[in-house]
Structure formats: structure tokens, C-alpha cells
Amino acid sequence: MFDNYTFKQKNRALLVIFILLAFASYKRSFVLSIIANEEIKQQELNLSKVDNSEESLQQLIYSISSLDKTIGKTNLKPDKIQQEILNALATYSKTYHVNLESIEETHSYKNVDFSVLSSEVILEGRFNNMTKMIYDLELNFEFARLINVEFYKKKILSTKKTKLYAKILFQHYHQI
């Protein structure tokens, strides 16, 4: 039956049959194996993401607690915060011989997630005493954070003396 064909024709036919069988086996089994391997790799990647998400959740909880510690206690009303600022300033002003010159009304800014309460206080005294008091407030006062300090001098015309003032800005973040 194959006697009529030359070796060259037989080899070509054999090559065509081999290519057809290779293509058929690729389509029937190799492609399925490759797809299954890709799916396994994707599922392993998803599994590692789930494992990492638990760790990242713990890191996020730690970050939130450290931020709460940094920006102050969050569940206080503006009146309570203002009162705590006044109490702390009264205590520290006696210790450091600094006078409380004025306190501004609390300014409030609301966002979708939180509100920011800002209080401005003006102190009068000696530079060293005020810096020690401000440093103490920054370290130990936990109800609001000391955001800004501005020193300025003012000449009193009646006494012709110059007084040193410090304008202090406290901020408190409150979750809504």
C-alpha cells in the first residue's frame, strides 16, 4: 500500500502526521495543564495575600492606636477639651511663673470622617519659663496636641517696657 510512495513523500507525510498529533495533544492536554498551573499560582497568590492581610490588619490597628495616642483622646466634647486646656495651663503657669493672657474661642472644622477642634492661647512671661512650660505641655498633655507656637514681643506704651508673648495653638481630632 505504501510501496507507491517514495521515502521523501513518506517522511513528509510522517512529519505532517507528527505535527497534527502534537497540535492535537497540545490542545487536549497541555493547554489544560498550563491553565491549571496558572490557576494554582493565582490561588496561591490570593492565599498569600489573605495571610498578609491579617498581618497588615494588625499593623493598621497598631497604627490607629499610635495615631490616637499622638493626636489626643478622641471621645471628648469641645467644652471638656477647652476645660482641660485651661486646667493644664493654670497648673503649669503657677509652676513656671507664666501668665495666661487670653484664650480664643474653639474653632471647629468638620470633614467626612473627623472634626478638628483648634484652640488658641496667648501666654506672657519670660522666654526660658515659657519654653519649659511648652515643652512640658507637649510631652504630658494628652487631651490635645500642641501644633504651633509663635513668640512675639509687644511694647507697652504706658510703662515703656517690652513683654514677651507666646501664641500656642492646640488641636484635637474627633472621629464622627
Is pLDDT of 121 > 70?
yes
Rounded Cα distance between 64 and 111, Å, is: 18
Q: Assess whether 62 and 99 both reside in one domain.
A: no
How would DSSP label each residue in 26-81?
Answer: IIIIIHHHHHHHHHHHHHHHHHHHHHHHHHHHHHHHHHHHHHHHHH--SS--HHHH
Is residue 5 located within the same domain as residue 87?
A: no
Q: Note the pLDDT of residue 68.
A: 66
Shared domain for 82 and 160, answered yes or no, is yes
Same domain, 169 and 86: yes
The pTM for the full model equals 0.60
Q: Where are the alpha helices (DSSP H) in 97-143?
A: 127-140
Q: Are residues 111 and 25 in the same domain?
A: no
Partners of residue 175 on adjacent β-strands:
114
The amino acid sitting at 115 is S
Q: Which residues contact 75 (CB under 8 A, 6 or more apart)?
A: 174
Is the same domain home to 60 and 83? no
Answer yes or no: do 64 and 85 share one domain. no
pLDDT confidence of residue 132: 94
* Residue 72: predicted pLDDT: 56
Domain end: 71, 98, 121, which one?
71
CATH for 151:
3.30.70.60
Give dist(CA 83, CA 117) in Å, integer. 13
Q: Are residues 84 and 63 in the same domain?
A: no
Q: Which domain holds residue 158?
A: 78-175
Total H helices, total E strands in the chain: 4, 5
3-47 pLDDT, tens per residue?
A: 788 888 889 999 999 999 988 888 888 888 888 899 999 999 988
Residues 35 and 118 in one domain: no
> How many domains are there within the chain?
2
**Same domain as 86, residue 59:** no
